[in-house]
């Protein structure tokens, strides 16, 4: 199927140009998305650099510590995903308000350690509960990918990998055309497969990565995973072509036979 699609694109008048244009567009789009990652992380950097507020003070320019009591803890199981929730009761408020907060999925030290009735300290910044302290332990609260650089980072990885895969495919169509009737080479297929796997796997790694205030950790994991993915893509693309060529050679009649 891939070979037939490749032959159709090669025979099309503007097929190679369209492949190149789409690939370049995706690469340029990835550059714009990568540039958005630091902007999306600006809020997290400001939080990390903010000083602690004086005791009893609340301000948007510092991190306020509010004492609370653990009223309940619960783990929600949804398939392979576990969600950790703590319900906090603020004893310093007359109404005794309760706040149910989801904890970060990475590093459940506080969640595993606390019990009902334990006193913890909630760290607020800009009226948002960002972390919970229990003794010497600190655990961040959960933040959606739309609140940091993971969302633009995931789309950037997908666009870059897809664009480079298409450009490698175009390069082989343009500069290494296959002679009529010759066996389809594995190299252009390997570029497409690698781009697809990196786009799907890399974007998922970034999107589902640790919500620790930055997509840098996930992007580094994607970078480390690139070489193994390229190697597996080459083997995945080379082996069927090699096997098919061996079968054809095995059934071909001997030279000079009637």
Which CATH number characterizes residue 67's domain?
2.40.50.660
Q: Do 220 and 198 reside in the same domain of the chain?
A: yes
- Residues 6 or more apart whose Cβ sits within 8 Å of residue 9: 15, 16, 19, 173
Whether residue 158 sits in one domain with residue 130: no
Question: Which residue, among 103, 104, 163, 109, has the nearest Cα to 137 in the 3D structure?
Answer: 109
Q: Which range of residues forms the domain containing residue 108?
A: 50-143
- Residue 33 and residue 202 in contact, taking contact as beta carbons nearer than 8 Å: no
pLDDT confidence band for 249 (50 / 70 / 90): very low
Is residue 172 within 8 Å of 188, Cβ to Cβ?
yes
Judgement on whether residues 174 and 54 belong to the same structural domain of the protein: no
- Domain assignment present for residue 253? The answer is no
Same domain? 203 vs 240: yes
Which of 143, 174, 209 marks a domain boundary? 143
Cα 202 to Cα 31: distance, rounded to the nearest angstrom? 16
Task: Report the number of distinct structural domains present in the chain.
Answer: 2
Give 2-22 pLDDT, tens digit per residue.
555 555 555 554 677 888 899
Q: Are 104 and 213 in contact (CB under 8 A)?
A: no
225: Cβ–Cβ under 8 A, 6 or more apart, which residues? 198, 201, 202, 205
Does the residue 243 lie in any domain?
yes
In a domain, 255, yes or no: no
Do residues 158 and 239 both lie within one domain?
A: yes
Q: In 10 A of CB 78, how many CB atoms?
A: 7
Mean pLDDT value across the chain = 79
Residues 100 and 217 occupy one common structural domain: no
Q: Is the pLDDT of residue 248 over 60?
A: no
């Amino acid at each position: 199927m891939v070979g037939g699609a490749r032959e159709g694109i090669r025979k099309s008048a503007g097929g190679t140009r369209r492949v190149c244009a789409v690939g370049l567009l995706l690469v340029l789009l990835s550059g714009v998305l990568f540039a958005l990652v630091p902007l999306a992380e600006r809020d997290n950097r400001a939080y990390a650099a903010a000083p602690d507020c004086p005791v009893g003070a609340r301000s948007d320019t510092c991190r306020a510590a509010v004492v609370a009591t653990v009223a309940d803890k619960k783990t929600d199981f949804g398939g392979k995903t576990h969600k950790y929730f703590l319900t906090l009761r603020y004893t310093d408020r007359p109404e005794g308000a309760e706040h149910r907060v989801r904890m970060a999925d990475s590093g459940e030290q506080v969640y595993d350690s606390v019990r009902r009735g334990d006193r913890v300290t909630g760290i607020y910044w800009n009226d948002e509960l960002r972390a919970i302290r229990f003794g010497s332990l600190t655990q961040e609260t959960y933040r959606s990918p739309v609140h940091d650089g993971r969302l633009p980072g995931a789309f950037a990885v997908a666009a870059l990998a897809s664009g480079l895969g298409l450009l490698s495919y175009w390069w082989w169509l343009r500069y290494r055309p296959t002679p009529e009737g010759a066996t389809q080479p594995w190299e252009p297929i390997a570029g497409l497969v690698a781009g697809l796997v990196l786009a799907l796997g890399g974007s998922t790694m970034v999107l589902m990565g640790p919500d620790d205030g930055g997509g840098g950790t996930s992007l580094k994991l994607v970078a480390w995973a690139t070489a193994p993915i390229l190697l597996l893509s080459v083997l995945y693309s080379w082996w069927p072509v090699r096997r098919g060529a061996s079968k054809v050679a095995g059934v071909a009649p001997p030279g000079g036979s009637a």
